[in-house]
Copies of this chain bind each other. A is one copy, B any other.
Amino acid sequence: MIFRQLFDSESSTYTYLLGDESTRQAVLIDPVIEQVDRDLKLVGELGLTLTHVLDTHVHADHVTASGVLRERTQATVVGSKGGAACANVQVGHGDEVRVGQLVFQVLATPGHTDDSVSYLLGDRVFTGDALLVRGNGRTDFQNGSASQLYDSLTRVLFRLPDETLVYPAHDYHGHSVTSIGEEKRHNPRVAGRSREEFIAIMENLHLPRPRKIDLAVPANRACGHTAPSPQGA
């Protein structure tokens, strides 16, 4: 398998490129619109064909490249049920996404947003903003729910094998990856915390409103298009 972790420093977003070495089919997870040229150049140089784009949720902090990538490559855009209506395929817990011989299992991990999913591929899980390195996504907009996120973390993600490598959608401290075991032991908001403690922590973060949210959320519901398409997608 070909695997590349890519970073957008403006939004501190990680994008993942995964390619199946036998069919040369490839997928981008959580691509950022400003990085389309970089990402497609890499896809081409690696001799891959982009067939799928996966978003873990409707992002509030950057605009997805899914729509532009679909236009330029005919890739299938995959989102979650309740997420972007413009996606070609909307997936929910227990569904699978096949990219060549790579089989991603969809895990519903709501709480950061109500449409958040994680994608499990073997011993790697792409958690979006549900689980970050020693952190987790905020829960104060887009139908976020600290209680629901607590369940997603402790009853879904933390039931994966400890060795599972966790690839988040963001990091702000120079970390690139963690593992389920590490987060079960060392995540300061979740490890050893009750649901009530977790909810209290999340309620007391008092984070500023995301700078791009008014642009990004409607754009991302339309696969990154900042004006409605003729189809209203």
Chain A facing B: main interface SS: mixed
Is the Cβ of A6 less than 8 Å from the Cβ of B176? yes
Closest residue of chain B to A176 (Cβ to Cβ) is: B5
Is the Cβ of B6 less than 8 Å from the Cβ of A185? no
Residues of B contacting A42 with CB < 8 Å? 175
Smallest beta-carbon distance A230→chain B, Å: 33
Using known A-B contacts A45-B185, A46-B182, A185-B45, determine if residue A174 contacts B9 with beta carbons closer than 8 Å: yes
Is the Cβ of A35 less than 8 Å from the Cβ of B186? no
Residues of B contacting A8 with CB < 8 Å? 174
Is the Cβ of A182 less than 8 Å from the Cβ of B6? no
In whole angstroms, how far apart are the Cα atoms of A46 and B182 in the complex? 7
Is the Cβ of B9 less than 8 Å from the Cβ of A177? no
Is the Cβ of B4 less than 8 Å from the Cβ of A177? yes
Residues of B contacting A182 with CB < 8 Å? 45-46
Q: Which of B6, B38, B174, B185 contacts A35 (CB 8 A)?
A: B174
Is the Cβ of A38 less than 8 Å from the Cβ of B4? no
Could you say which of A8, A35, A174, A182 has the most chain B C-beta atoms within 10 Å of its C-beta? A174
Residues of A1-24 contacting chain B, CB below 8 A: 4-9
Tell yes or no: A173 within 8 A of B by CB.
Answer: yes
Chain A residues engaging chain B, CB cutoff 8 angstroms: 4-9, 35, 38, 42, 45-46, 173-177, 182, 185-186
User: Other CB < 8 Å A-B pairs besides A7-B7, A7-B174, A35-B174, 8 of them?
Assistant: A5-B176, A6-B175, A6-B176, A7-B176, A8-B174, A9-B174, A42-B175, A46-B182
